[in-house]
Structure 1
Amino acid sequence: MTASKGLAALLLACVSLPCAQARTLPVPDQRPTPGNEAPPLPIARAAYSTPVNYLLQCAGCHLDRGQGSAQNDTPRLEGFVGNFLKVEGGREFLVRVPGVSQSALNDQQVADLLNWLLDRDGMAGSSTPEHWQRYTAQEVGRLRSQSMLDLPKVRRGLIQALRAQGIVIDDGLRH
């Protein structure tokens, strides 16, 4: 038997295995595990805590403590993100970043998440100005509806404004 005929015979044997040995589709009469009968709620209605919403919506890129990833071009939030409240347009930028504005969270959840991040005892730490205005759901809703068409350009302008104030840019990215 040649190698090609042997390979063909092996492939034929694999294809003809009974479905029970290589099942990829669920059994037609399979039912959910008790307690999982109801379809999951959309995240905007699930009423998770703000830290859980961060883990579900932000930590995939910014990591669990907001440390960011230069390799993935994701800026650090930890100890830095509050600086954006110190320059014109920075407050709006934080809501209009696509990961925030297009998240599955509702406007109140986004406001709660940003306020949680920016609290001086939160991820932003001392980078947040001492006296800052907390976000409201109404403000978030208004800002989310305004698309940001050139994120890198807007961010560069804000970084320049921060540098002009003498703020050290320690967001974990190479500038």
Structure 2
Amino acid sequence: MEQTKLEAEGSPDRLTSPPPGPNYTLEERIGAHRVWLFPPDLVELQIRGDLSAPEMARLGSIFRRLSGELPWMLLSVDITHLGDLPASTRRTAAHQGHLALFAGCVMWGGSFMQRVLATMVWNAVRLLGQSHPMPPVTVVSTQAEAHAFLDTQRARRQA
């Protein structure tokens, strides 16, 4: 039996970030990708491989549902295993406007080039979806840096 690239790297069930533990209240799978909700305000997304337009639309549905339940949301995205983000995926993100639901976003992991690509894509989506103002994205190397950024965002909100 031939292995897919992700299976060769490790099972899609194997997380690059630590297992969520008992603190999450929701876990959704969209293909190889996962979304967790960590109350009161954190949505964590792990992208594994290519992200298609239908998968982006499904993420949008999840994000919209969560925005109806939470007064304020932050997004943390693990891009360690980020694959391709085709133009159709970027258009879907821009036109649906679901990324505008977040008060802040941090992306972490991945190579330098993956982080550059993720920043460029986010900024392109921001420009394409101007009717849905999106927060700027912060891109860092590690999950610890991502959590520090999120703590800063929460502190600013409290001030």
Larger relative contact order (Cα-Cα within 8 Å, sequence gap ≥ 6): 1
TM-score normalized by the length of structure 1? 0.30
Between Structure 1 and Structure 2, the one with more helix by share is 1
Between Structure 1 and Structure 2, the one with more strand by share is 2
TM-score normalized by the length of structure 2? 0.32
Q: Bigger radius of gyration, 1 or 2?
A: 1
